Chains A and B, each alone.
Chain A
C-alpha cells in the first residue's frame, strides 16, 4: 500500500513540515514522506507549534491540514509564503473548504492515498 517504486525518492534529503492534528493521519504522512526520500519530517499538531518551529527553521516544503481541531492553519500558510516555502493543503471539506485567499494552492482531498499525495507533491517540485 505504501509501496514506492524505485527511483521515485524525489524528496531525497529534504525537510518537510507536516501540520496535522490527527495522530494516525500524521503517522501515515510521516511514513509516506519518509519513503519518498524525505530526510527530516517534522510534525506540528497545531498552529502555535508550527509557528514556533518556523521561527528557527525553514523546511523545503509543507503539508498543511486546513482544520486543526477547529483552528485554521492559515497563519502557518502566511508564514510559509513569507519564507518562500511551497506547500499543499489537505482537507476533508473539499475545494470549497479553503478560503478564497488560498484557492490557487494545491489541495489534496482527505482521505488520500499515496498516489494522490505523491502526485500533489511532485507538482510542487517540478525540477526533481
Chain B
C-alpha cells in the first residue's frame, strides 16, 4: 500500500494499486484527517472521522456515495491530479487537471507522455521538454518532487503558474509502477507575491529617495533600517540590530542637556505607544558637529493592534535655523533703521522747536515716543503681535510722581495684532495725556483705573478716572477724541464710549480680536 502525502495536505492511501483501465480507479480511503495549510502558516485541522467503518452521523445519500467512492471525491477536488504509468502515459486525471491544461487528453495517448499540458515552462520562461518534466524525473529516479513551481501554457497561449508535487507509486513488492502529480494554480499567489515584493522594493526605494532622514525599529526599539539621509544626519553608519532607539551618535536637548538613547523621543513613542512630533533635539556626530532636528517617531501596529515597530522621520533644522536667524537679523536691522529714523525725526523736532515752550512740541515728542515703543514691542515678536498689558504699562511709564503711582492697571496679557496694538497705544496715550493735564492724574488726590479682559473674542477696556478736578465735555473735539472715534470705531471696527462725567472721565472700549 502506497501512502501519498500531497502538498494540499490530503492523505490518500491506495488500497489495491491500479488495474490499468480507463475507469476511475481510485481505491482510496480518506484518512480521518484533512489538513489545510493556511497562508499565515498556521495549521487548521478537521478531525471529523469519515472512516468507512463508521458512517457519518448525518449524511445524505449523495454525500455518502462520494465518501464511499473516493474517486468521485478526487474528481471533485479543487486541485489537479493525474497519474501516469511506468512509461509516463496518462492513466487518469481529474476534472480540475483538464481545466488547468485547457484540454481533455485521451489517456494512453503518446502525445501526452508525462503531462497533459500543451506546453510547460520554467519560471524563467525556458521551455521544459516532456522527458525533462517533473513526472519524467520521478518515474526515472523514484524520488518525489516537492513544491516545484513552473508554468504551463494552454493551446490558446494562456499561461498559468502551477505548484506541482509528484510522487512515485509502488506496488506491494516495492516496484515502481507509476507516478501521481498533484498540481494547483498559484498564478494569483505568485502575482500577489510579486506585487508585495515590488511594493516592498518600492517602499524601500521611496524611503531611500526621500530627502528626510528615516529609520525603522522593531517593537523593542532595535534599529532595522535607515536611509541615506539618516546616515548623513547622524554622520555615521550605525550597526543594524545592535543600536537601539535611534542611530544618532549622541543626542542632546537644545539647552545642551545630554539625552540617553533610551530617553530619546523614539524611545518615548515606543514606550507610550503613540506618535510624537518633537520635541526638538540636537544630534552630535562622531566628528563633534551638531545638527538640530525635529523627530517624528510613529509606532506601527499590525491589523490586530499589536505594536510591531516604529518609524521615525528626522527633519534637519539647520537650514531652517539659519534662515530664521537671517530673518531675525533682517528684522532687527529694519527695526534699527526705522528706530534711527524716528530718533532723527525726534531730534530734528527737538532742534526745530528749541525754546518753543509750547504744549504742541511736548505732545509731538510724546506721540513719537509712543509710536516708537509699540514698534519695539512688535519687533520683539517679528511684527506678528504685541502684548496689550505691556503697551498699557508703557503708556504710563513716562509719567512721573503721583501721575504714575495713581494709575492702576488690572488685566491679563492679551496678544494684539500690529494694527490694533498701534491704534490702542496711540489712543491710550492721548487719554493718559489728558488725564495728566486736566483729569484725575493732574492732582495727587486723583486716581485712574484701567481694567481689561477678553470675552467672546473681544478686548473689553474700562478707563475710569476718579478724585480729580471736575471735568466737562471739551468745547472742541481734540486730537485724542478724534483718534478714539476714528481708530477704534472705523479702523478696528470696535466700539468706544467716552463720558465726561463730573466725577471723572469714564471711557469704555470694545475691540474685536482675531480668532
Contact = CB atoms under 8 A, between A and B. Distances in A.
B365 A28 contact: no
A92 B354 contact: no
Contact of B332 (A25, A28, A93, A112): A93
Nearest to A3: B357
B346 A94 contact: no
Given A2-B350, A111-B368, A97 B343 contact: no
B398 A93 contact: no
Most buried by B among A3, A92, A94, A112: A92
Interface string A1-28: 1110000000000000000001011011
B376 interface: yes
Contacts of B339: 92-93, 110-111
B332 A1 contact: no
Given A1-B350, A27-B351, A115 B343 contact: no
A1 B347 contact: no
B380 interface: yes
B357 A22 contact: no
Contact of A1 (B335, B344, B361, B373): B361
Interface string A89-122: 0001110010000000000011111111000000
Contacts of A22: 340, 343-344, 347
Contact of B351 (A3, A28, A94, A109): A28
Contacts of A111: 339, 342-343, 345-347, 368-369, 372
Given A3-B357, A25-B344, A111-B369, A92 B350 contact: no
Contact of A93 (B335, B351, B353): B335
B337 to A, nearest CB: 8
A28 B338 CA distance: 18
Interface in A41-96: 67, 92-94
A92 B361 contact: no
A97 B365 contact: no
Interface residues of B, number: 35
Contacts of B368: 111
B356 interface: yes
A41 B193 CA distance: 90
A31 B351 CA distance: 9
A3 B359 CA distance: 12
B353 A1 contact: yes
B354 A110 contact: no
Nearest to A22: B344
Given A1-B362, A97-B336, A111-B372, A24 B342 contact: no
Interface residues of A, number: 22
Contacts of B380: 94
A112 B362 CA distance: 13
B348 interface: yes
A93 to B, nearest CB: 5
Interface in B363-408: 365-366, 368-369, 372-373, 376, 379-380, 398, 400
A115 B335 contact: no
Given A92-B335, A97-B332, A27 B347 contact: yes
Given A67-B336, A92-B336, A113 B354 contact: no
A94 B368 CA distance: 17
Contacts, number: 82
Given A1-B362, A1-B365, A110-B340, A24 B356 contact: no
B343 A25 contact: yes
A94 B356 contact: no
A110 B337 CA distance: 11
Nearest to B337: A92
A116 B332 CA distance: 23
A24 B351 contact: yes
B369 A113 contact: yes
A116 B338 CA distance: 20
Contacts of B348: 24
Contacts of B332: 93, 97
Contact of A31 (B354, B356, B366, B369): B354
Contacts of B373: 109
A18 B54 CA distance: 118
Contacts of A109: 372-373, 376
Given A67-B336, A92-B336, A115 B398 contact: yes
Contact of B379 (A1, A24, A28, A94): A94
A22 B362 CA distance: 22
Contacts of A67: 336
A113 to B, nearest CB: 5
A83 B480 CA distance: 50
Nearest to B347: A28
Contacts of B369: 111-113
Contacts of A113: 346, 350, 365-366, 369, 398
A108 B254 CA distance: 32
21 contacts: A1-B353, A1-B361, A3-B357, A22-B343, A24-B344, A24-B348, A25-B344, A67-B336, A92-B336, A92-B337, A93-B336, A94-B379, A97-B336, A109-B376, A110-B339, A111-B342, A111-B346, A111-B368, A111-B372, A112-B369, A113-B398
Given A1-B350, A109-B372, A113-B365, 18 more contacts: A1-B349, A1-B356, A24-B344, A24-B351, A28-B350, A31-B350, A92-B342, A93-B335, A110-B342, A110-B343, A110-B372, A111-B342, A111-B347, A111-B368, A111-B369, A111-B372, A112-B346, A113-B346
**Top-6 shortest CB links A-B:** A92-B339, A111-B343, A28-B347, A111-B346, A110-B343, A1-B361
